[in-house]
Structures are given as structure tokens and as C-alpha cells.
Structure 1
Amino acid sequence: VQEWLWRAYGARHREVQASIDRLYDLTERVHEGVFEIRTRDLNTLYWDFYSSPLGRMSDGRRIVMSIAIDVTEKHRAEAQLRRRALQQAHLAELGREALSGMPLETLFQHATEQVARGLDVPLCKVLELLPDRSALRLVAGVGWKPGLVGTATVGIGPDSQAGYTLASDQPVIVPNLRLEARFSGPPLLQEHEVISGLSVVIPGLQEPFGVLGAHSVRYRHFTEDDIHFVTSVANILGLAVERHRTEQELVVRREQAEHIAEFRSRVLNSLSHDLRTPLTGIIGFAAMLADELEGPSRDHARLIVSSGQRLIDMLNAVVDYGKLEAGRVELRPEPMDLLQEVREVMALMQPLAEEKGLALRLEAPEAPVQVMADPSALSRILVNLVSNAIKFTDAGYVAVTVREDADHVCIEVKDTGQGIAPAFQADLFKAFHQERRGIGRSHEGAGLGLSIARRLTEHMGGT
């Protein structure tokens, strides 16, 4: 009896022996409860015991009858429902942690802890495929001997459970590692006396990240719910890894873009300085010649002055755009009357419009329009918009309309020019873009005016 108790009940054999001894003192039927039974083939069953006294034998010994009802399926079904609810709670928590941007090392460790609790197993691990694909490294886990997490490796050949899992790209269930014929257990599992296990691939976009595994030191039946649970955890980890990689790539690309923009800005500033100095001299001497010469020579000198000024305006636009792109423009918004700034720009643009025979119109409220804006940036936006309209209008007028809405102010610039081709409208505010290029161009400029206006507007919170 003692040997049978040990084989059937394991560590609980003394408790069960004491319960059996008490049965001989029964005076009525009793329900002893459900007991966990271990079978010869290492299966676990659950029996519900009822016992009743039947009297005494002639020699005085008591007779007790015990009936055991096999409730294994009921017990497993109830346990599986509880486990499924627990697993769903673990998945929700792990998903929340993954979305929070938690460091991968911490997320991996939390995942192994949750899988171990969700499956009620003592061992769980995350194995990362090394960059050279030579092995899998244990990067997180629970239940392993001290010092193994972070250092231990497992081969990726088909002779190990992890390697077999990688090769098959399917969940791998091991009922009994000692009887496993598909592969041999690696030293990591043998040293921990693993019997049953479940492993799945942690996916990646280009190649698998690694393997997620759960193991038990006694026979364990893994259900379809268990497989779905571990697979879902592996998918969450795979998505977290890819998100981390994408974020790292974006950081690198942003740093590269910022470096390029900064370098370009420095080059543009240096080039502007080197070109501006001789251009200023050329313009100055050409203006002096224009005052002294007469006839065609005077016209040629004036052409030099206007051409030089256009080059300086183009240089200024390129430098301003470089500063905007590099994020080196500091705006200082302050309360101001928008209409006053609009009128000043209109007065500045009036000679340019009159030179082309255009009418310059302003449609605006009579009362001041108070806004929070950087005066210099606002002036630059208005100058670029109005001068662009004048440049591309040969007859008629250019109209500026200021309209107040509930929480913002709208400024519209309308002209009677040739219009914008539908195919070009998507590129209207792109830098260095003009509707006509090369020998077909009929207007000067670098194609930056509208792009600068848009960027400055967005910098001040407008559209």
C-alpha cells in the first residue's frame, strides 16, 4: 500500500495515508473530495472519492468501502476555462505593455513570466537568433539556473527543439522529451529535467527573431488554447521587435537628414556670402555707370543692376529655405494688427504692379484684425504670395482679401493671370518646382517663394 500511495500520489502520499487511516473510524458515508492521481505512464488523473463504513469482520477489523469517480475530463474542462480567462488577461496586459514602448528586454522578461503563469509551467524562455545565424541565445526566461539568461546558447540545427521549431515554422509540441524521436533535447533542457514542452517561432518581417518556449518537468498536455496563447504572445513580441527596429531606423534616418540639412545650410550660407560680396560691388558700379551713361549704354547698365538684384533675391530665397529646412528659424509671435502689415506689403508691391499695368486691390474689414504672429515671417509670406501673383499676371488685377472667421483669419490672394494647370497643382508648394522649366520658362525665380510661404505659415500654426 505504501508503494502504491507513493506512485499514485507522489509528495501527497503521507496526507493520503492519514486520510485512509481516518476512514476506519467512520460511522456514516463521507465525501472525501477530489484527489490528483499519477498513473504509471506519467498521466495525471482526478478521482472524486466517497467512502462508507460496512461494519466489522469476525476478528473485529472494520470494513470500509470507497468509490472513486473519474472526474478528469470535468476537472480539465474547468481548469481550461480558468486558464483561458487567465491567458486572455495576460495577452491584454502584454499588448498594452508592447504599445507603451517598454524596452524589449523588459517586455521579453514580462512575456516569459506571463506565459509561465498562463500555462502553469516552471520554465519559459525567449531565444534570439544571433545575427550570424550560428545559434540562439537565451535573452529572457524564468525557472532557469542562475547565470544562464543572457549567456546560454542553443544550436539552430534540427537536433534541438528550438532548431526544429525554426525549420518547421510551426508550433512544436513535445509530450515527452525522453521519448522524442524528431530531435534530441539540448543540454539546456536536459539539465533542467524537462519532460513536456511547447515552442513557437517569434516572427519578423525579413526573418524570424527567435523562438518562444515553455517547458514542464512532468508530463503536460498542451491544448489548442495553450497553442493559440503562446502563438499570440510570440506575435506580440514579433510586432514589438519590428516596431523597435523601425523606430531605430527612423532615428538614424532623421539624424542623417538633420546632418545633411545642417551641412547644406552651412554650404548655402558660405556660398551666399561669397557671391553676395562681388554681386553687391557689381550692382553698385553698374548703378553709378547708369547715372553717367546715356542711350543704349545706360539701358545696358540698368539691366546689369536689375539682373544682379534678381540674383541677390534668389540667393536670399535659397538661404531662407535652407534655414527653414534645417529648423534654424526662430519665430517670435506677438500681438499685432494684421491689416497694418497687409497694407504695408501692398504699398511695397504697388510700384511692381504699376510697372506691369496691374491694379492692386485690398478687400478687408475696416477695424483692426488682431492676431498672434511673427511680424517678419508674416511680411515675408505676404510679399511672396503677392509678388508671385504679380509675376504671373500680365493684365487685369491682383486682389488680396482678408476675412475673419470665429477662431482664425483667412488671407486670400487672387489674380487674373493664366492660372495653374491641374497637373501642376499638387506640386505648387514644393521647393524648386515651377510649372515651366528649361527653355520654356518665361519667368525668373528659384521656385522657392510659395514653399517658403507655406513653411513659415505652418511654423506659426497656420495652413
Structure 2
Amino acid sequence: MSSPSDSETELHTRIHQQKVISSLGRRALETDDIDRLMHDAAATVAETLGCDYCKVLELLPSGNVFLRQGVGWQEGIVGEAEIPTDTNSQAGYTLLSEEPVVVDDLRTEERFSGPDLLIDHDVVSGISVIIGTIDDPWGILGVHTTDEIAFTDHDVDFVQSVANLLAAAIERHTYQDELEETVAELQALNTRLEKFASMLAHELRNPVTIGQIYAQHLPEEAAPKAVENVVESFDRIENMIDVMLVLTRRGDAVGERAPVSLAEMARDVWDDVDTREATLVVDIDLVIEADEVYVRHLFRNLFENAIRHGGSDVVIEVGTVAGGFYVADDGNGIPPEDREMVFEPGFTTTADTDGTGLGLAFVDRLAGIYDWDLQLTESDAGGAQFEFRNVAMSDQSD
């Protein structure tokens, strides 16, 4: 039986190296343990090339490199050794040359003389490549042996491919860490915001309640319009407090659910709103499970929004859709390109008058808290129609 030719052996070696790269690539996508991946990559490279040592060097802010992971080295070296990146070291020369460095025999090497790490381990031959980009290197992947080996171009490509896999995994891991830090910071910020909102709401409710009580005893016959404005102002402040709590605390702000008649609530809210010459049409007979305080605010915000944008003589209708209800008007409507933005906190087209940009944001947030499906469409009259589906109904509904 004849022995395989050199070309067959080389082909077999290249196929094996490609399989190793493929396996490492899958592992790099699956693992979140970057140090374990570095160690396994070093062990795999050393085994595949038949070498004694392999190392993953991390470039430090000082300019030196740190032996973060590796195999074959003396005990206490990995995770401890810091190597200079001057021209006397293979690592330093690799960074300066900006290309893979192959050492046939370190004993006769003229480009650099060390470093001590390689000399102390009787290293003779090796390959070192950059992990990362030339402009922004993360570190170096190096493989070494105590025997003199004539590494091929395919061996160099293999080591560089593994380094590229590590670079991609490190970048993903770094991004994930930064994302987790950002999420943690946002969560902490939200917690502080919720506490501040709760404290502010508590501090505001007491004077508002006192003001509302005194407002009820004001002599309307002396200045009816002034009394009306005072009462309305206190009501608006109370509305803003509840809106703010829902926007900042979300589900924690909403109380227990109870039966709420939408027809009765709509008419009751209408009596408290400055309706001008607007008209309300109620064609609904549903009782839902919700917190009546916030359903009241929902109707109030939708009614005021319709009057503010649809005109003083706008016609507003509250009706039934499959699985829920709707509030529609015959105003100018909302262009399709703006229908997502109108629910963003702060979005308003009437900031120069009395728009706060919080009303529809509150409506959207409340729908989310109750798991209602909210859709903004065009009404039959060409105005805006807010549809709420998947609404929990009370047993009292007909």
C-alpha cells in the first residue's frame, strides 16, 4: 500500500484546520464565557499545529501585553505575566509589523531577541498574529514550539482565522457588557424617577385637595368665571398628577380593577370638560374591568385632544368595536406618518397653547398596562379614531 503524497497530506491538513475553525466559530457564537473560549482556542491551536505552547495576549493601556489565557506554560504564568512590547519581543514586533510574524528559529532570530518568556520556555519556532484590526488591535495570538518547525502559509492563515474569531467574540462580549451596564444604569434611573414621581405626587396631592375643598366654597355669584377657572385648574393639576404617575411608575400606579360603565363614565367626564360647542355621542353599553380613576383620565385626555385639534364644534363618538370600544371624532384626523409619534411623551403640535404632549402618551401607556390592543385609525367622518380591543369585560356587560 503506497503512502499518501505530500499534496494529499497538505489537503488533509487544510481540511482538518477548516473543520477546527468551523467548530470554534460555532462555540464563539454560543458561549458567553469569553475567557473559556480563549483558553479552548489556545488549546485547539496548539493541538492542531502540534505545538507546545499557545497564548492569548491582551494589549494593556500601558502598552504592554498581558498573558490572559494560554496552554503549556509554567504554573503561575497565565493570568499573571505582563510582557513588554518593545522591539526585543515578538509581541512588540508583531504589533509594529502589522502582519503575521513567523519565527523559524528564535536562537538565530535577528529581528528581535526575546522576550524572556519564550527563552525561559526553550521556544524555537512560532507564529504570532494580531487579534483585532491593525488600527485598533485588541491583542496577539501566538503559538510556539520547542522544536524547529517550518510553518506553511496555510498554518499562518489558520492561526489568523482563529484570531479573527476571537476578535469577533471579544467585540460581541464587550458590546454585551456595555449593553448590560446601560440597562442597569437605565433601571437605576427609572427607579429614582419612580421614587421622585411618587414623592412629588404625594407632595402635590395635599395642597390640590385643600384647594379643591376651598374652591367648592367660593362665591360663584361674585365671579362665576373665575371660580370655574380655579376649579378647572385644580382638576387639571390632579389629572396631570395621575398621568405622571402612570407614565413613570406604569402598572404600579393603577389600582385594583372594578366594573366601570363606559357610557356613564364618558358622560360624567364630558360634564367636567370644557366642551365649548362640541357634541358627544355615546353609543355603547359595555362594562369593563379597570380602575375608574384612570378610565376617567383616558376619556378626559381623548376628549380634550379631539376638541383641541378638531375644533370647538367637533363631534366625538364613543362606540363599540369587536372586543372593546373606540373614541372617534370628525376633526382633521392624524396623518398616517404621525400615528406612531403622537404616542411619544412630549410630542405635541399645540405647545404654544396648552398642549403638554403627555395626554396620548398616557393613553398608550394605560392601554399597555391593561394589555389592551390600541390602534389609531381614521374615523368614518375622516377624523381620528382610537380603538381599544382585547378589553377585559365585566360580568355586568350585556
**Is TM-score (shorter-chain normalized) higher than 0.5?**
yes
* SS of residue in 2 equivalent to 1:148: coil
Q: Which amino acid aligns with 2:231?
A: V
| CA distance in 1 between partners of 2:252 and 2:343 (Å) | 20
Aligned letter for 2:58?
E
How far residue 99 of structure 1 moved from its aligned partner, in angstroms, is: 1.8
How far off its partner does 1:219 sit? 2.5
Q: From the superposition, tell whether residues 147 and 422 of structure 1 become closer, same or farther in structure 2 (CA, over 3 Å).
A: same
- CA distance 1:414–1:224, change in 2 (3 Å): farther
Q: For 2:47 and 2:98, how far apart are their aligned partners in 1?
A: 25
User: Normalised by the size of structure 2, how large is the TM-score?
Assistant: 0.81
Kindly report structure 1 stretches of 4+ aligned residues shifted beyond 6 Å.
none
**SS of 2:349 mapped into structure 1:** coil
Amino acid at match of 2:43: E
Q: Deviations over 1:409-461 (max 9, x none)?
A: 47543312244467855531111221122xx32xx353212112223333427
Aligned residue type for 1:219: E
1:322 matched to 2:232: no
Deviation, 1:306, is 1.2
Residue 451 (1) aligns with residue 361 (2): yes
**Residue of structure 1 in register with 2:98 after alignment:** 169
Q: Percent identity?
A: 32
Q: 1:401 to 1:239 in 2, by over 3 A?
A: farther
Is the radius of gyration larger for structure 1 or structure 2? 1
User: For the residues of structure 1 that align with 2:60 and 2:50, how far apart are their CA atoms?
Assistant: 29
Q: Which of residues 257, 267, 272 is equivalent to 1:347?
A: 267
Q: What runs of 5+ residues in structure 2 fail to find an aligned partner?
A: 375-398
Q: Would the aligned equivalents of 2:55 and 2:67 in 1 still touch at CA under 8 Å?
A: yes
Matched, 1:155 2:84: yes
Equivalent residues of 1:342, 1:382 under 8 A apart: no
Matches within 5 A, 1:20-31: none
With over 3 angstroms needed to count, the CA separation of the structure-2 counterparts of 1:456 and 1:286, relative to structure 1, is closer
Is the Cα–Cα contact under 8 Å of residues 246 and 366 in structure 2 kept in the other structure?
A: no
Specify which of 343, 358, 367 is matched with residue 278 of structure 2. 358
Partner of 1:379: 295
**Partners of 1:105 and 1:140 within 8 A in 2:** yes
SS at match of 1:220: coil
Deviations 1:272-321 (A, max 9, x none): 2222212222222122013xx424x2332222111121122112212221
Which of 259-268 and 376-385 deviates more?
376-385
- Would you say the 8 A contact 2:130–2:140 is kept in 1? yes
Relative to the length of structure 1, the TM-score reads: 0.70
Q: Which deviates more, 452-461 or 145-154?
A: 452-461
Is 1:102 aligned to residue 32 of structure 2? yes
- Look up the equivalent residue of 2:356 and give its one-letter code: A
CA shift, 1:109, in A, is 0.4
Matches within 5 A, 1:238-277: 238-277=167-206
Gaps of 5+ in 1: 1-30, 35-70
User: Is 1:309 matched with 2:235?
Assistant: yes
Is the alpha carbon distance of 1:316 and 1:226 closer, same or farther for their aligned partners in structure 2, counting shifts above 3 Å?
Answer: same
Distance 1:123 1:345 in 2: 78
Residue 331 of structure 2: aligned partner:
417
Aligned residues: 371
* Cα distance in 1 between the residues matched to 2:292 and 2:68: 56
The amino acid across from 1:200 in the alignment is V
Alignment correspondent of 2:313 = 395
How far has the Cα of 1:212 moved from its partner? Answer: 0.3
C-alpha distance 204-317 of structure 1, shift in aligned 2 (>3 A): farther
Q: Match of 1:137, SS?
A: strand
Cα RMSD for the two superposed structures:
3.3
Aligned partners of 1:298 and 1:387: how far apart in 2? 22
Aligned to 1:49: none
SS state at 2:113 partner: coil
* Distance across 2 between alignment mates of 1:375 and 1:273: 19
Match of residue 117, structure 1, among 21, 28, 47: 47
- 1:71-220 alignment to 2 at 5 Å? 74-75=5-6, 77-133=7-63, 135-203=64-132, 207-220=136-149
- Secondary structure of the residue aligned to 2:207 is helix
The alpha-carbon distance between structure 1 residues 101 and 422, as it changes in their structure 2 partners (threshold 3 A), is: same
